[in-house]
Structure 1
Amino acid sequence: MDPIVTPTHGLKGAPMIVAELMTPKPVTVAPNDTLEAAHERMEAGRFRQVPVVDGEKLVGILTDRDIRQHIGQLAHTRVDAVMSAHPFSVRPSTPVEKAAHLLIANKIGSLPVVEDGKMVGIITASDMLRALAAVLGDASEDSSRIDLDLEGSGEIEAATNLVRTICPLLGVGTYQRKRNQPGREILYVLVPSASGQRVAHALKEYGFKVLAAHF
């Protein structure tokens, strides 16, 4: 099952949005640039794809694969002749989990970020990994993970409040149990390993549906 990146902040939690992870004002190329110029820019920044903008408007995306297919003709081929027009994009306010779904479902490495018709940033698969690290918090060999079925366990706030009465809460997040059950969410909490069994027992005692405890 694929995790849906949903970091929480505070007791009630708030979804992380693209604006918190994106790279603002990314390197871009113009439609009338040559592939040679675009390739040099991508090599300098070690990018595998680069947005194509006309003024401030996103018009396409160029990948290293596009360039490889025209080796020997880079100096004589324009970007707009080989770029992918109308690329997938997101807004700064898009939840990170939705952006992650677009990356995975469409097998792409990045998403331009557009607001009011203008390109304002880019978010990549590497940014998603950083988001996952934020979700996992202080996860380490000294932490334990406990999975709860939210459908049968009530509110996230109640569960995290209970955990905090026992030990520090190292991390918390949610993921979808199955792709064909989009409404079925699993809450996981990370706690110090020394307190794992005690936390799992307390959660069960208070009526939370514990699916698994990874000590």
Structure 2
Amino acid sequence: MFVANRMTKNPVTIAPDASLDDAFMAMKKGHFRRLPVVEDGKLVGFFSDKDLMRVAPSPATTLSRYEEKSLLDKLKVAEIMNKDVISVGEDATIEEAALIMYDKKIGGLPVISAVGAVVGVITETDIFKTFVDVMALSEGKTRLTVLVDNKVGVVNEISGIFAAAGLSIDSLVTCKQEDGSYEIVIRGIIPDTEKIKTLIEEKGYKVVHSVKFD
């Protein structure tokens, strides 16, 4: 799964010489939290609601609304935007984008084409939605967690159990534990959970959790 398939395409952008009031109104109108800053077709910065909050008057200010607007009009986006922009290519995988955001502790990334044009924005919300879609959490599937040792052939054997029972596996994810063992998380339509649990445990594996998402 690639960033290009999950990002917000053709994002609203703003120029570096735009006023903060212009940026505020653009974010408010589109319900955005971030705006790529573009000059001559190239990404030069990234502007977020946090940048705006850093310089906006406090709610306790004695400034009039006219004075507040005048202040925001005087400041330009280029003065407070993040110039050290971290971006991601549209051909990157969704996992790469998630890892960058996790490592850098940021909530969104501008997405760049091969020629350097801004073609989208990918955010933590897009990552969460991808997770929900991949795990099919909204489709009433059953989730089984199986604890296994780290050995060759485990996934093949467990998938064989499902095949022999006439069941399909919609998704299967492995997660390494601190002791070197693995949790295998399986999702699918499983009419008789207890039956498949018994078949798995008869092969020497332990089903440690099961739940159905309605």
Q: Could you tell me how far 1:45 is from its partner in structure 2?
A: 0.9
Q: Given the alignment, which residue of 206, 210, 214 partners 2:210?
A: 214
Q: Could you tell me how far 1:188 is from its partner in structure 2?
A: 1.5
Q: Could you tell me how far 1:155 is from its partner in structure 2?
A: 7.2
Aligned length: 197
Change (3 A) 1:174 1:79: same
Counterpart of 1:112 in structure 2 is 110
Partner of 2:102, secondary structure, is helix
Counterpart of 2:62 in structure 1 is none
Counterpart of 1:17 in structure 2 is 2
Contact 1:139–1:190, Cα closer than 8 Å, also in 2: no
Contact 2:143–2:187, Cα closer than 8 Å, also in 1: yes
**Matched residues in 1 for 2:197 and 2:18: separation?**
59
1:176-201 per-position Cα deviation (integer Å, ceiling 9, x unaligned): 436x89x9875421134543333344
1:174 aligns with 2:183: no
TM-score by length of 2: 0.76
1:129-182 per-position Cα deviation (integer Å, ceiling 9, x unaligned): 21111122156776232345584353756644642442544641436436x89x
**Equivalent position amino acid for 2:43 in 1:** L
Counterpart of 2:128 in structure 1 is 129
Contact 2:16–2:77, Cα closer than 8 Å, also in 1: yes
Identity across the alignment (%): 26
Partner of 1:69, secondary structure, is helix
Counterpart of 1:3 in structure 2 is none
TM-score by length of 1: 0.75
Runs ≥4 residues deviating over 3 A = 138-142, 147-151, 153-162, 167-171, 175-178, 183-187, 191-194, 200-207
Counterpart of 1:81 in structure 2 is 79
Q: Given the alignment, which residue of 180, 193, 196 partners 1:196?
A: 193
Change (3 A) 1:211 1:145: closer
Counterpart of 2:48 in structure 1 is 63
**Matched residues in 2 for 1:159 and 1:100: separation?**
29
**Matched residues in 1 for 2:193 and 2:101: separation?**
34
Counterpart of 1:44 in structure 2 is 29
Report the structure number with the largest CA radius of gyration: 2
Change (3 A) 1:110 1:53: same
Give ranges in structure 2 of 5+ residues lacking alignment: 57-67
Q: Could you tell me how far 1:67 is from its partner in structure 2?
A: 1.1
**Alignment RMSD (CA, Å):** 3.0
Counterpart of 1:163 in structure 2 is 162
1:30 aligns with 2:15: yes
